[in-house]
Structure 1
Amino acid sequence: MKTLREVFNLFVCVILSRFNAVTSIIYVENGKSVTLNPNVQGDPEDILWTFNGNKVAEHDLNEFQEYGQFRGRSEIQITTGQLTVLRMTSQDSGIYWSAIQIDGKLQNSENEVQVIDAVQEPNVTCILNNITESKILFCSVSSQFQTTFEWTGSNSIQHSGQELHISKEEKPDSVFTCTVKNEVSLKSTSFALKDCLTGQLHAHYNNCWLKYSVYDESELRLFVVIFL
């Protein structure tokens, strides 16, 4: 692997100068594996992958070597140059570069990888306004990463956002489902309107039901802040 070792220092300099050139992110669930495709043309002769400027693994079709935190967790497909990293953790988030020699020339690729946790099961809270007889369903989840909220339910309703406002005409046997998504997973929780009683807030939390007397929508938001 003499050829790639000779160009490694120059290659690292190029990497460090182009960190901002990455335009897309590959999201990976914590504990899962990722396979990075360099999309090279031709048959690889030497293959080198780096992570934030440090070697991950290299292969010259005869010898395979792994480095640092990737020892025992990395694989290189010699026919395609693909890198697979097993049991990903947050420490593996960063920029991955490849230098693959084909017909004596180098072909490079870059990938930004972000390792995040799977989303947790969402919590649904409900309040019935005694004055308007309308209901509000509020969906929440604890997450360090960006999530989206989608509601489905009666009459094929579809709504985006954490809150779902329901008119007093809605049937009490109606069921609404909140689905929370992030880049690697989704989880759902369903709520039946019959469980939303007059003057009380009902919260579905870790398979338990909590009750809280409330008579104003502003109190709902205050409760949700404390509840979270």
Structure 2
Amino acid sequence: WVKHLTQPLGLYLKIVIYAVTAVTFVENGNDLTLNPNIQGKPEDILWTFNGNKVAEHDLTEFQEFGQFKGRSWIEITTGQLTFRNMTSQDSDIYTSAIQVDGNIYHIVNTKPVLSMFPSDAVQEPIVTCKLNMITESKTLFCSASSKFQISFEWTGSNSIQHSGQELHISKEEKPGSVSTCAVKNEVSQKNTSFTLKDCNTGLLHAHYNSCGSTVLLMKLGYDLL
């Protein structure tokens, strides 16, 4: 959530202070964009890290500082700050001061950005399928390991989203239908897709997820629920 405080200064200048109270997670080596969520056209933009300058843009010149040289950029139309190749040394408090129509918008991230190690990312999900020989319905089960709490989200050919590890599918669903399980933690998200026709055998097959990694899907066609 955001706290909003406006303080008039003289006749023409005021400072608007926002406090961002959410922790931001990013995996080491990935890019990160911090969005100040301001309205109007920025005239001058400054971002700091622990009180030290990160980058600034006055609409004519862009400058980077310290450890962020060569891997940061400010989008002048929005004030967004983007980093490339985040490291654990980039974890802490970021603050921006952006001038719009003569007013200064001061965005204070009261919670840190935490750059996590790749091992903290959620692992590739594995999808298994069980066929009920009596009702001919199918149940897909998605599993993944993570050091942090993870969420499961299913999408299918009908574009309807479903939360949870299990997805129940009626016998009317076409064999060519594809269901995708997305698992997400604070650091990353990974997806794996499963085609219903693969639920009809007891063989072990290799499938490819959206990241190109091989995931083994055990098709338990003759197991009962």
Instruction: Find the counterpart in structure 2 of residue 34 from structure 1.
Output: 33
Instruction: Find the counterpart in structure 2 of residue 149 from structure 1.
Output: 153
From 94, 97, 104, the counterpart of 2:95: 97
Could you say which structure has the higher helix fraction? 1
**CA apart distance, 1:95:** 3.2
Instruction: Find the counterpart in structure 1 of residue 52 from structure 2.
Output: 55
Rounded to whole Å, the distance in 1 between the matches of 2:56 and 2:95 is 14
Runs of 5+ in structure 2 lacking a partner? 1-16, 208-213
TM-score computed with the length of structure 2 as normaliser? 0.55
DSSP-derived class of the 1:158 partner: coil
Whether contact under 8 Å (2:139, 2:167) holds in the other structure is yes
Could you say which structure has the higher strand fraction? 2
DSSP-derived class of the 2:93 partner: strand
**CA 1:78–1:159: 2 relative to 1, 3 Å:** closer
**CA 1:35–1:216: 2 relative to 1, 3 Å:** same
**CA 1:55–1:135: 2 relative to 1, 3 Å:** same
Question: Between the two proteins, what is the percent identity of the paired residues?
Answer: 37
Pairwise mapping of residues 168-179 of structure 1 onto structure 2 (< 5 A)?
169-170=171-172, 173-179=175-181
Runs of 5+ in structure 1 lacking a partner? 1-17, 218-228
Rounded to whole Å, the distance in 2 between the matches of 1:133 and 1:127 is 10
Rounded to whole Å, the distance in 1 between the matches of 2:90 and 2:33 is 10
The structure that has the greater radius of gyration is: 1
Instruction: Find the counterpart in structure 2 of residue 187 from structure 1.
Output: 191
Instruction: Find the counterpart in structure 2 of residue 108 from structure 1.
Output: 106
Rounded to whole Å, the distance in 2 between the matches of 1:92 and 1:191 is 41
Q: How many residues align?
A: 190
Instruction: Find the counterpart in structure 2 of residue 4 from structure 1.
Output: none
**CA apart distance, 1:163:** 1.0
**CA 1:86–1:216: 2 relative to 1, 3 Å:** same
Instruction: Find the counterpart in structure 1 of residue 11 from structure 2.
Output: none
Two-structure CA RMSD over aligned residues (Å): 4.8
